Amino acid sequence: MSESEKTGPAWGELPIEQYFIQNWSFSSTKTPNQQRSRLVTEFLNLNTLPFKWFKMPDLKDLPAQGTGFRLPTTEEIDIILRPYRCENLRCALNSDQRVKDDTQMEEWIDTEKFGEEAEWAVLDSEDLFNFGPGSESWRQIYDIIPELAGPLLLQPFQVRSGDGECVVKRVPGPGDDILKNMYIYFKRDLATAKEDDPAAWLHERDSVIESTGMALQKVVTSTYMVAADQEAFQTGKLLVLYLDGFRRVIREVRIDDELDDIGSIVGSWTETSDLPDYSILSERYRVNGDLGRELYQLIEVLADL
């Protein structure tokens, strides 16, 4: 396909574009860039997103989409959408093109492992994605492609809202069916762990709970990201981050090419969605962390142990 033949998704199909056109104020005193920046922040902090926004509907099917999805006007395209992202980047979310321009990245990334998803999954344009030094610099990707915060697997995150509309939650809560079912097995497995190794339960209870709770951590993991940060180029070890829907790190690990590679990371997620047991649990998702306390529900879970 030639450069002139490449086209991205129809205007308005990408989730952030729907949020833009449905929340834009033409009477605002803010500049367009200021408005877009504010709306990106709001989008990334939404508790739920309409399921329709993830459907990428064909234009001919739009009448059936209801009020949750609408086409942008020409004015909205020109003022709101077109200045936000170049066409090549929009293509990168929905096409087959890819440019290889960095030897080290090519050694790390074999795009065949990603298949047809390589174009949006492998973001290696230095002009767009070189964020400079800093342990948290990778977070700047969400300013450019906020859709990456959305779940890779929709099913665990789909629920019905009060009006019956299907929505996608950023993070499943303890009252959602997917987690309520998981707590049954979590309680069972903790009872087994306590019986099998009483000494570990007595002296290393937090570690036992966190290890047993990996299935819960997996459920709330909405996506993973492989980052070629400054340390990766210094050590040769890519950083792999497992995140919830609010971009909070659940687990992280450095890939040691003598023990693992990106193919196994991709394959594990694609086939099983497992989290590597050698990855490091973040402080916030530990037993005493604010997110861990909410996730493990220990007062209720441990009541019968």
Q: What is the DSSP string of the chain?
A: --GGG---SPTT-SHHHHHHHHH--TT-SS-HHHHHHHHHHHHHT-SEEEGGGGS---GGGGGGGGGG--PPPHHHIIIIITTTS-HHHHHTTTSS------HHHHHH--GGGTGGGHHHH----HHHH---S-TTGGGGHHHH-GGGGS-SS-GGGEEE-TTS-EEEESS--TTSHHHHHHHHHHHHHHHHHHHH-HHHHHHSHHHHHHHHTHHHHHHH--EEEEE--HHHHHHS--EEEEE-TTS-EEEEEE--TTT--HHHHHHHHHHT-PPPTTSEEPGGGSTTSHHHHHHH-HHHHGGG-
Is residue 158 within 8 Å of residue 51, measured between CB atoms? yes
Of 97, 114, 130, the domain-final residue: 97
Q: Please indicate, yes or no, whether residues 93 and 159 belong to a single structural domain of this protein.
A: no
Task: State residue 97's pLDDT score.
Answer: 31
Answer whether residue 146 is part of any domain: no
Q: Please indicate, yes or no, whether residues 168 and 79 belong to a single structural domain of this protein.
A: no
C-alpha 304/C-alpha 38 separation (Å) is 47
Task: State residue 102's pLDDT score.
Answer: 39
Answer whether residue 167 is part of any domain: yes
Report yes or no on whether pTM surpasses 0.75. yes
C-alpha 119/C-alpha 9 separation (Å) is 13
33-56 mean pLDDT: 89
Q: Please indicate, yes or no, whether residues 175 and 275 belong to a single structural domain of this protein.
A: yes
Count the domains in the chain. Answer: 2
Task: Give residue-wise pLDDT tens across range 155-207.
Answer: 888 888 777 788 899 999 888 888 999 999 999 999 999 999 999 999 999 99
C-alpha 250/C-alpha 267 separation (Å) is 19
Answer whether residue 132 is part of any domain: no
Answer whether residue 46 is part of any domain: yes
Closest CA to 288 of 301, 302, 298: 298
Q: Please indicate, yes or no, whether residues 300 and 166 belong to a single structural domain of this protein.
A: yes
Answer whether residue 102 is part of any domain: no
Q: Please indicate, yes or no, whether residues 182 and 254 belong to a single structural domain of this protein.
A: yes
Q: Please indicate, yes or no, whether residues 84 and 160 belong to a single structural domain of this protein.
A: no
Task: State residue 86's pLDDT score.
Answer: 75
Task: Give residue-wise pLDDT tens across range 222-259.
Answer: 998 888 888 888 888 889 999 999 999 999 999 876 66
Task: State residue 1's pLDDT score.
Answer: 41
Answer whether residue 145 is part of any domain: no
How would you class 238 by CB atoms within 10 Å of its CB: exposed for 0-12, middle for 13-18, buried for 19 or more? buried
* pLDDT exceeds 60 at position 301: yes
Q: Please indicate, yes or no, whether residues 188 and 93 belong to a single structural domain of this protein.
A: no
**Residue, of 151 and 285, whose pLDDT is higher:** 285
* Domain membership of residue 181 as a residue range: 155-304
How would you class 181 by CB atoms within 10 Å of its CB: exposed for 0-12, middle for 13-18, buried for 19 or more? exposed
